[in-house]
Amino acid sequence: MRSLPPPARNPYWRFLVAGFRGQSAYPLATLAGLVANATFGLLKGGIMGAAVESSGGELSGYSAATMAAFVWLGQGMLGSVNFWGGSDLQARIRSGDVAVDFLRPVSVQAAHVLTDVGRGLFALLPRGLPSVVIGVLVSSMALPPDAAAYALGLVSLLIGITISHATVYVVATTGFWLVETRGVSVFYMALSGFFAGLFTPIYLFPDWLLTIALLTPFPSMMQFPIDLLSGQATGSAAWQHLGVQLVWLAVVLAVGHLTTRAGRRRLEVQGG
Amino acid sequence: MADLRRNLLAYRTVLASRARSQASHRASFRMDLVGAVLIGLIEFAEVWVLYTAADEIGGFTLAQVLLVFGLSDLAFSLADLVAGHCDNLPVYVRAGTLDVFFLRPQPVLAQLITSDLSLRRLARCLVGATAFTVGLVLNDIDWSAATIGLLVLALVCGFVIFAAQFVTAAGLQFFLVNGAEMTNAFVYGGRYAATQPATVWPRALLVVFGAIFPVAFAAYLPVSTLLGVPGVAGLPTWLGWCAPIAALWAVVVAGLCWRWGLRHYRGAGG
């Protein structure tokens, strides 16, 4: 075996790279996703822009420029975060293939989450960037005000993508106890996007609903990275967002670790 | 005539068996129904959040847009119930299942449509129907035969328009296969568009969703006519009555795309 440089010898690094590279094999699918993304972006931009305009140019702290940034950054992130609740692990638990994963000398959780994060990071190139470019071309969207906002925003984006996939991992591990996990996925699908700020910024919610949203990990997946990247949250507010994101990352990873351990004992694979 | 009846009986038997098979897994079926209603409610919540935050968007208030949302959501859900699994075509093509359809003496499209009947989509209709009913109560509507005629016409045409989008998408998927998501732009994008007042769209979207994939005729234009809300500048208020023309156009496009796609299909190899 040829020797690899140190980071490439690490299996977890290779899971990340494999996820990243695997996605690049389907250029047509990527283009298709971009077309759908852009269409939804135009529709969303139209209605949200009209909402800001009819409120006299300012709606719950959003101007036309920051609302456009909200729409197009959100569209750009869509291919990188998981709001539909399904995953490879879900299918592997149902089919029993997960037993093979447990035989490998690596953490099942880390392997699956890292592969998905790798896919998500890849999607930023063909889907994320073009969406933002389209946004800049068709609207007057706000951009990060300075280099620090770019840096913090990208860190926040990376954490957001990881939280999303680590949460979907937890959703999949319910399969150790339930035979059919589609219902759990549908639940996740209905709530995650709504509370993450996929459709409207969560700051448009009435207070009670906003409070509920802020008690979930979902805003950390999309709304907070967008806040940082669009310059809505700066200074201490930006650091606060990052702090909340890190707490949620730790929580969902810990829960995933526990459900994996407990589920492994429950796992029963039939057939031979 | 007897032939036709025998034919229909075959489809009915197939559909009935699909319905029974789903309802027999009770827990999973109930979960599906709850999930479908939940997704509908969240979709409504998006509209509610937006129209509560801003009092009026594109000339519509929350009460008025309830009619647009309800009507289009109901029409889309019904179309989804009937034709929604046309979405599975790329899966069938890749797995080679579609080749089996060609062996049977029935039209491929009819077989594709009866290949599944998702009862959970029935639950989805509830949300649209409720929003529509509440919208009818909240708005000051001048009830007459014409009003009822317009609403029924809109619902039927909306159903036809959305079902036609599913078939159009299926036809195009013979070419796209891996790029199936592209058709989401007008199928699901169309559903999203249909819940909005067209006045907020840039001109390019007006052409796309007002003419090419005419979902604006499913709810927005009929409701504008009904409530007398001034629409897109330069367009007459009676345009809502033209929904049948839009439906006819959508069916023609769907028919052409489907035939074109079917002729292009060469089988996945065996």
Check if A32 contacts B (Cβ < 8 Å): yes
Name the residue facing A36 among B45, B50, B189 (closest C-beta): B189
* 3-class secondary structure, B63: helix
Residue B7 has pLDDT above 90, yes or no: no
Which residues 182-241 on chain A approach chain B with CB closer than 8 angstroms? 182-183, 186-187, 189-191, 193-194, 199-200, 204-206, 209
Whether B26 and chain A come into contact, CB under 8 Å, resolves to: no
Hey, are the CB atoms on A199 and B186 less than 8 Å from each other?
no
Reference B113, options B85, B90, B94, B87; nearest CA is B85
Does residue A264 register a pLDDT over 70? yes
Residues A32, B181 contacting (CB under 8 angstroms): yes
Strand ranges in chain A using DSSP code E only, listed in sequence order:
none
Q: What DSSP element (H or E) covers A161?
A: helix A147-173
Question: Would you say B114 and B83 are in contact if contact means Cβ atoms under 8 Å apart?
Answer: no
Q: What is the ipTM of this complex?
A: 0.89
- Which residues 6+ apart lie within 8 Å of B139 measured at CB? B63, B64, B66, B67, B227
For chain A, what is the radius of gyration of the CA atoms?
19
User: Shortest CA distance to B222 belongs to which of B138, B161, B134, B137?
Assistant: B161
- Within 10 angstroms of residue B51's Cβ, the number of other Cβ atoms is 21
- Which of A42, A59, A212 should one mutate to test binding to chain B, selecting the residue with the greatest count of B CBs within 10 A? A42
DSSP A80: T
What are the pLDDT digits (tens) for A159-192? 999 999 999 999 999 999 887 788 889 899 999 9
For residue B270, being part of any structural domain is answered with no
Please report residues of A whose CB lies closer than 8 A to that of B192: 40, 43
Q: What is chain B's mean pLDDT, rounded?
A: 88
- Of A54-63, A83-92, B171-180, the least confident: B171-180
Q: For B31, which of A60, A183, A204 is closest by C-beta distance?
A: A183
Q: For residues A80 and A162, what is the distance between their CA atoms, to the nearest angstrom?
A: 9
pLDDT at residue B224, rounded to an integer: 93
Q: Say if residues A152 and A243 touch (Cβ distance below 8 Å).
A: no
User: Which of these, B79, B87, B223, lies nearest to B159 by C-alpha position?
Assistant: B79
Domains in chain A, number: 1
Contacts of B57 in chain A (CB under 8 A): 47, 50-51, 54
Q: Is B17 on the interface with A (CB under 8 A)?
A: no
The answer to whether the CB of A93 falls within 8 A of the CB of A182 is no
Within a domain: A1 = no
Distance (Å) from the C-alpha of residue A39 to the closest C-alpha of chain B? 6
Cβ–Cβ under 8 Å, residues B145 and B101: no
Burial B152-163 (b: 16+ CB within 10 A, else e): ebbbebbbbbbb
Average pLDDT along chain A? 91
Q: Read off the pLDDT band of B8 (50, 70, 90).
A: confident
Q: Which carries the bigger pLDDT value, residue B177 or residue A80?
A: A80
Q: Do B46 and A199 touch (CB under 8 A)?
A: yes
The region of weakest confidence among A63-77, B53-67, B87-101 is B87-101
B56 in contact with A at a CB cutoff of 8 Å? yes
Instruction: Inform me whether the pLDDT recorded for B29 exceeds 90.
Output: no
| Three-state SS at A270 | coil
Assess A84–B contact: CB distance below 8 Å, yes or no: no
Tell whether the model's pLDDT for residue B22 goes beyond 90.
Answer: no
Residue contact A51–B204, C-beta within 8 A: no
Chain A: give the shortest CA distance to residue B188, in Å: 9
Taking every pair of Cα atoms in chain A, the longest distance, rounded to a whole number of angstroms, is 67
Residue A77 lies in a domain: yes
Domain membership of residue A257 as a residue range = 6-266
Average the pLDDT over B260-267 and give the result: 86
Distances from the Cα of B266 to the Cαs of A36, A153, B92, B102, in angstroms? 27, 48, 13, 11
Four-residue CA torsion sign, A125, A130, A133, A135: negative
Interhelix angle A64-77/A129-138, nearest 10 degrees: 160
Of B35, B52, B182, which is closest to A206 when you measure between CB atoms? B52
Of A42, A48, A206, the CB nearest to B202: A42
Query: Which residues of chain B make contact with A199, given a CB cutoff of 8 A?
Result: 46, 49
Q: 3-state DSSP call for residue B61? A: strand
DSSP code for B247: H
- Is B191 within a domain? yes
Chain B residues in contact with A52 (beta carbon < 8 A): 54
Give the pLDDT confidence score for residue B1 in this predicted structure.
63
Distances from the Cα of A252 to the Cαs of A171, A216, B15, B18, B182, in angstroms? Answer: 10, 11, 43, 39, 33
- The alpha-carbon radius of gyration of chain B (Å, integer) is 20
Decide if B35 and A46 are in contact by the 8 Å CB cutoff.
Answer: no
Interchain contact A177–B (C-beta under 8 A): no
Instruction: Please state the length of chain A.
Output: 272
**CB-based contact A46 B202, cutoff 8 Å:** yes
Q: What is the pLDDT of residue A28?
A: 83
Contact (CB, 8 A) for B39 and A182 = no
Please give the helix or strand (H or E) that residue B57 lies within, else none. Answer: strand B56-57
Q: Pull the structure tokens for residue A140.
A: 């007057």
Q: What domain range includes position B193?
A: 2-264
What does the block give as tokens for B179? 């790029």
pTM over 0.80: yes
Cα B242 from Cα B225, distance rounded (Å): 11
Predicted confidence (pLDDT) at residue B270 exceeds the cutoff of 50: no
Task: Flag whether B269 is in a domain.
Answer: no
pLDDT number for residue A168: 97
- The dihedrals phi and psi of A59, each to the nearest 5 degrees, come to -130, 115
Taking one residue from A and the other from B, the number of pairs with CB-CB distance under 8 angstroms is 123
B/e letters for A38-73, b = 16+ CB within 10 Å, e = fewer, are bbbbbbbbbbbbbbbbbbeeebbebebbbbbbbbbb
**According to the model, what pLDDT value does residue A26 have?**
75
pLDDT value at residue B123: 84
Q: Where on the phi/psi map is residue B58: left (φ > 0), alpha (ψ -120 to 50), or beta? A: left
CB contact under 8 A, A55 and B55: yes
Residues B203-240: tens digit of each pLDDT: 899 999 999 999 999 999 999 999 988 878 778 889 99
Does B165 lie at the interface with A, CB-CB under 8 angstroms?
no
Phi-psi label, residue A41: left if phi above 0, alpha if psi -120 to 50, beta otherwise? alpha
Domain membership flag for residue B211: yes
Q: What is the pLDDT of residues B49-58, one digit of tens each?
A: 999 999 899 8
Sign for the CA dihedral angle at B40, A214, A184, B34 comes to negative
Residue B268, pLDDT score: 56
Residues of B in contact with A54 (CB under 8 A): 54-58
pLDDT at residue A143 tops 80: yes
pLDDT given for residue A3 in this prediction: 67
Pick the closest to residue A69 from A154, A158, A143, A161 (CA basis): A143
A47 in contact with B at a CB cutoff of 8 Å?
yes
**Domain count within chain B:** 1
Is the model's pLDDT at A132 over the cut of 90?
Answer: yes
pLDDT digit string (tens) for A200-258? 999 999 999 999 999 999 999 999 999 999 989 988 999 999 999 999 999 999 999 99
Q: Please indicate if any CB of chain A lies within 8 Å of the CB of B35.
A: yes
Cβ–Cβ below 8 Å for B32 and A32: no
The C-alpha angle A88, A259, A78, rounded to 5 degrees, equals 40
A271 lies in some domain: no
Instruction: Answer whether residue B218 is part of any domain.
Output: yes
Residue in the block written with tokens 């009555």: B241
Among left, alpha and beta (phi > 0; psi -120 to 50; other), residue B235 is beta
Interchain CB distance below 8 Å, A186 and B32: yes
Instruction: Judge contact between A153 and A53, C-beta under 8 A.
Output: no
Residue position matching structure tokens 């219902």: A183
Q: Is residue A24 part of a domain?
A: yes
Q: Which amino acid does the sequence have at A259?
A: T
d(CA B30, CA A182): 12
DSSP secondary structure letter of residue A151: H
Q: What is the pLDDT of residue B269?
A: 53
| Residue with the larger pLDDT of the pair A179 and B189 | B189
What's the whole-number mean pLDDT along residues B108-130?
A: 84
Q: Calculate mean pLDDT across residues A122-133.
A: 91
Predicted confidence (pLDDT) at residue A76 exceeds the cutoff of 50: yes
Give the minimum alpha-carbon distance from B181 to chain A in angstroms, rounded to a whole number.
5
What DSSP assignment string belongs to B218-230? Answer: TTHHHHHHHHT--
Which band of pLDDT confidence, cut at 50, 70 and 90, is reported for residue A2? low
Report if residue B117 sits inside a domain: yes
Phi-psi map region of B181: left, alpha, beta (phi>0 left; psi -120 to 50 alpha): alpha
Contacts of B208 in chain A (CB under 8 A): 39
Q: Give the model's confidence band at B119: pLDDT under 50 very low, under 70 low, under 90 confident, else very high.
A: confident
Question: Which residues does chain B have within 8 Å of residue A206's beta carbon, measured at their own beta carbons?
Answer: 49, 52
Residues 6 or more apart in contact with residue B26 via CB below 8 angstroms = none
